[in-house]
Structure 1
Amino acid sequence: MPARTYPALSYELYPPRGDDAEESLWATIRRLEDTRPDFVSVTYGAAGSNRETALTLLRRLLTETALKPLAHLTCVGSSRAELTDVVERLIGGGVRGILALRGDAPDGVDPSEGDLQHAEDLVRLIRHIEAPRTAQLAAGRVSVGVAAYATRHPDSPSEEHDIDVLLAKQQAGADFAITQVFFQPADYARLLTRARRAGVTIPIIPGVMPLTSTRRVEKLGSLAGIEVDASLLARLEGARSDAERRRTGVAATVELARAALDHGAPGLHLYTFNEHAAALDVLDALGLERPPEAGTVASL
């Protein structure tokens, strides 16, 4: 009988900005650790603006928790030498997952000044650095993820172009993709259909944000160039209490996640904003099945 598979579960965290934020983040990490996620991703500032803080958080996750970190890495505005150094530090420090991103150039930086212009170039660089180290990695590989877009990327001429870019990242050596936020239940299904028809075979994990904050929903919708569901905003704004707003947002998030899982999504990636309450509410409502704890014997 083939081994039973379970939906993947992961969270996104970002490095803290100060002592109070760090204390709050670690309270969230401990709560999320209890759900036994497959990995947690750690964001990376534009052109490495918070590089050392991100590396410190990755180091602590590896040494102080049972969590497996996925390190974000952006290439725009950085030299090949800088990126090589970061990748070598990540692999040498025990990180075995990297999310390769183009990233946004910080203000005042010309994106064309960097040596690598696209995420697929960064994927190739990671594979090049990894190649002579397979013996140290027990003949294994670093798992390389990339971004996917359930709706058109704001800088892209078309959704078809987005799929071409995703296919190029797969051909460069990507193992899986995580989607940026989306707001309509059918968005993920359409992405998966387009991607598979084009020859994309890697797993595409839906990235879902708990839709409990009107301000956050509007801001991310604007950044991603996505029109937010007006009826959802109306329900959130019309809530008579914070508790009602949270219930409304969690229900909308669960609808998104269930639609993606029903369409064959391999798992779920939750954008937490370093807060655990809404993410845990979504998980409780979904009833996402998790594998047995380490040390237990799964039923045959």
Structure 2
Amino acid sequence: MSPPVVSLTPPDTSGSPVRVPASAPPVALSYELFPPRSAAAEHTLWSTIRELEATAPDYVSVTYGASGSNHDTAIDLITRLQRETLLRPLAHLTCVGNSEAALVDVVTQLLDHGVRGILALRGDLPRDGSPIPAGSLAYARDLVELIRQVEQQRSALLCAGKVAIGVAAYPTRHPESPSEAHDIEVLLAKQRAGADFAITQVFFHPEQYANLLVRARRAGVTIPLIPGVMPLTSVRRLKRLAELSGVAPHEELLDRLERAGDAAEQQRIGVQATVDLANAALDAGAQGLHIYTFNEHRHALDVLDRLSLPRPKRPLHSRDEAMVS
């Protein structure tokens, strides 16, 4: 005789299908950090880390220099984040100029250090115009495939887990790209190679992210496209970033910042502009927010304080309990 079937779902006596109450899905929150270059910079960075940790982000990304120029300091920062904080590191990794064997070693080292998130990037081409060394990976999609291969070989060690792989997306045309349509094809190729999500480069106009989302979805890109925003509070930084990225800043915002009466007014203008940009991206359908902190927390937290992000409720951990006791 078969045992009786026990239902774990309460019976619905109304005759209508059971519906899950609608609620706003949580928005992912993350920050970007870069390895310090001096003892003084390290002290400042760790003050920032403690402040950011209190906001319970989903992860923090740790940058990686061109061709791995700061490999050791990046690994040191990742290791310390895991040992001394509750933060989950997302390790940047660039492939240009690196051989396949060298990249396999780096990915293996990251996995051995407990890293389960990698941001796979091509990296900047040599500034002097020298050719890429023979045998090195040339594209981010190749790096995504390599990470998946290493993951597969080590699946038993990962307890059948999965490494989360992020890639870059461009709200405005990449400086080396023939068109925005080509950028979308590249993003689609990275998704097909195994990417789980993308973080955008900085943008200054709300419609740029919304247009990226529309173009990507029409082309078949289904992974989350997380808008990357920076606190728009420094004229010097905005102009420098424009030089490096080729993304023109908002001229009206630059003018308002330059005409500000003092640093406090400049901060107020820049923070509000950043909040408006982030809210526009969220209204367009963004599933998260990535803040480029430049290893400074004050303006990033000012922006966060002005946003109403639906965040998951997390149980207190020992460190949290110590902070509120």
Q: Same fold (TM over 0.5)?
A: yes
Q: Distance in 2 between matches of 1:244 and 1:111?
A: 46
Aligned to 1:70: 90
Say if 2:200 and 2:228, in contact at 8 Å, map to a contact too. yes
Say if 1:47 and 1:105, in contact at 8 Å, map to a contact too. no
Per-residue CA deviation, residues 97-120 of structure 1 (Å, 9 max, x unaligned), is 000000013445533545200000
SS at match of 1:71: strand
Unaligned runs of 5+ in 2: 1-19, 318-325
Q: How many residues align?
A: 296
Q: Displacement of 1:145 after TM fit?
A: 0.2
Greater Cα shift, 99-108 or 2-11? 2-11
Q: Is 2:312 the counterpart of 1:291? A: yes
Q: Displacement of 1:4 after TM fit?
A: 6.5
Which residue, 194, 203, 221 being the options, matches 2:224? 203
Q: Distance in 2 between matches of 1:123 and 1:152?
A: 22
Aligned to 2:174: 153
Q: Distance in 2 between matches of 1:253 and 1:286?
A: 10
Which residue, 251, 260, 263 being the options, matches 1:239? 260
Q: Distance in 2 between matches of 1:280 and 1:288?
A: 13
Name the % identity: 64
Q: Distance in 2 between matches of 1:168 and 1:94?
A: 28
Q: Is 2:232 the counterpart of 1:216? A: no
Q: Distance in 2 between matches of 1:107 and 1:183?
A: 26
Letter of the structure 2 residue corresponding to residue 189 of structure 1: A
SS at match of 1:67: coil
Which residue, 161, 168, 178 being the options, matches 2:199? 178
Which residue, 43, 54, 57 being the options, matches 1:34? 54
Provide the TM-score with structure 1 as the length reference.
Answer: 0.96
Letter of the structure 2 residue corresponding to residue 57 of structure 1: L
Q: Distance in 2 between matches of 1:295 and 1:208?
A: 28
Letter of the structure 2 residue corresponding to residue 191 of structure 1: L
Aligned to 2:140: 119
Letter of the structure 1 residue corresponding to residue 149 of structure 2: H
Letter of the structure 1 residue corresponding to residue 234 of structure 2: S
Per-residue CA deviation, residues 3-47 of structure 1 (Å, 9 max, x unaligned), is 863100000000000100000000000000000000000000000
Per-residue CA deviation, residues 155-193 of structure 1 (Å, 9 max, x unaligned), is 111000000000000000000000000000111100000
Q: Displacement of 1:215 after TM fit?
A: 0.8
How do 1:1-300 residues align onto structure 2 when only pairs under 5 Å count? 1=20, 5-108=25-128, 109-295=130-316
Say if 1:39 and 1:70, in contact at 8 Å, map to a contact too. yes
Letter of the structure 1 residue corresponding to residue 104 of structure 2: T
Cα RMSD (Å): 1.4
Larger CA Rg, structure 1 vs 2: 2
Q: Distance in 2 between matches of 1:25 and 1:212?
A: 19
Q: Does the C-alpha gap of structure 1 residues 162 and 277 become closer, same or farther in structure 2, counting only changes over 3 Å?
A: same
Q: Distance in 2 between matches of 1:229 and 1:114?
A: 41
Q: Distance in 1 between matches of 2:107 and 2:215?
A: 32
Provide the TM-score with structure 2 as the length reference.
Answer: 0.88
Q: Distance in 1 between matches of 2:113 and 2:151?
A: 13
SS at match of 1:111: coil
Say if 1:149 and 1:179, in contact at 8 Å, map to a contact too. yes
Letter of the structure 1 residue corresponding to residue 92 of structure 2: H
Q: Distance in 1 between matches of 2:162 and 2:136?
A: 24
Letter of the structure 2 residue corresponding to residue 135 of structure 1: A
Q: Distance in 1 between matches of 2:31 and 2:39?
A: 22
